[in-house]
Structure 1
Amino acid sequence: MLDIAEVARRTGLAPSALRFYEKKGLLTPSGRNGLRRTYDPSVLSRLTMIICARRAGFTVAEIARFLGAGPADEVTRADLVSKARRLDEDIARLVRMRDSLDHAAVCTHEPLVECPDFKRMLAP
């Protein structure tokens, strides 16, 4: 078993975030060691998914619905498809930004942001 401090250390999350996720139904402690919550080590993979989803723009409520969804939950499935499409758009935008910044790092145009190639790379 891992206590809350160890889970926090391994994930980089504050203990208060772990308690918040527990309150929202995303985590379930296995018990207590004195006053400290303890978790099964499998909580680390669950938190990896939660952290990834949060960074991808999922709300806590969306994550909770996803974690509780089954194969017959058509509404959640449709939401996931929609979210995946938005992520594809975000990825395309970020790739354009990365490519334009790589170009700007070696470009000699004055000023850099007025470079026609830089502007072309940013265009959708």
Structure 2
Amino acid sequence: MGHDARRPRRELSVGEVARRSGVAVSALHFYEAKGLITSHRTGGNQRRYGRDVLRRVAVIKVAQRLGVPLATIRDALKTLPEARTPNAADWRKLSEHWRADLDARIRKLTQLRDSLDECIGCGCLSVETCPLRNPYDELGEAGPGPHLLDPG
């Protein structure tokens, strides 16, 4: 029994997923190694993916662009059902997990943008009033990291 060209196949090869998603095969292997997506092996030891992997890869790509860590993406994707293609309610549940984190990121980015306005505008001519000024490296005693730009 041959494949009907009008009906999409239920499973995709890694090359087909790469072509359809715009993600390199090496990235798909990486996502799989990190537990973000899953495949099974054929008798010839070739990877096969369910069609729902295309939506999952799309979510991964968008989340990465937003700066969501891979571990957070993996945890969210684990809330989706394995035995069936996720429906609208499943995706809504996933997005609710990210809403608070994304709102916090937006607040931090807005704060960063607003605090950098003066620096970008002054051209570093007002060292005494610069919000990033750290005379005598006083903030070094507070530990590593950008304390003034990222107080949280």
Fold agreement, TM-score > 0.5: yes
The one-letter amino acid of 2:105's match is R
Give the deviation of 1:34 after TM superposition.
2.8
Structure 2 equivalent of residue 4 of structure 1: 14
Distance 1:15 1:50, change over 3 A: same
CA RMSD of superposed structures (Å): 3.1
- The answer as to whether partners of 1:3 and 1:39 remain within 8 angstroms in 2 is yes
The amino acid of 1:84's aligned partner reads: D
Does the CA contact (< 8 Å) of 1:31 and 1:39 recur in 2?
no
Q: Structure 2 residue aligned with 1:86, among 105, 109, 114?
A: 105
Question: Of 43, 46, 70, which residue of structure 2 is paired with 1:36?
Answer: 46
Distance 2:111 2:46 in 1: 44
1:24 has 2:34 as partner: yes
Percent identical pairs in the alignment equals 36
Which structure carries more relative contact order (alpha carbon 8 Å, separation 6+)? 1
Unaligned runs of 5+ in 2: 1-10, 81-96, 114-120, 123-152
2:61 corresponds to: 51
CA contact (8 A) 2:18 2:28 kept: yes
Distance 1:10 1:91, change over 3 A: farther
State the alpha-carbon separation in 1 of the partners of residues 52 and 110 from structure 2: 29
Q: How many residues align?
A: 90
SS at match of 2:71: helix
Equivalent-residue separation in structure 1 for 2:43 and 2:16 (angstroms): 12
Q: Is the 8 A contact 2:56 2:77 kept in 1?
A: no
Aligned residue type for 1:6:
E
Instruction: Compare CA radii of gyration and give the structure with the larger one.
Output: 2
Normalised TM-score (structure 1)? 0.58
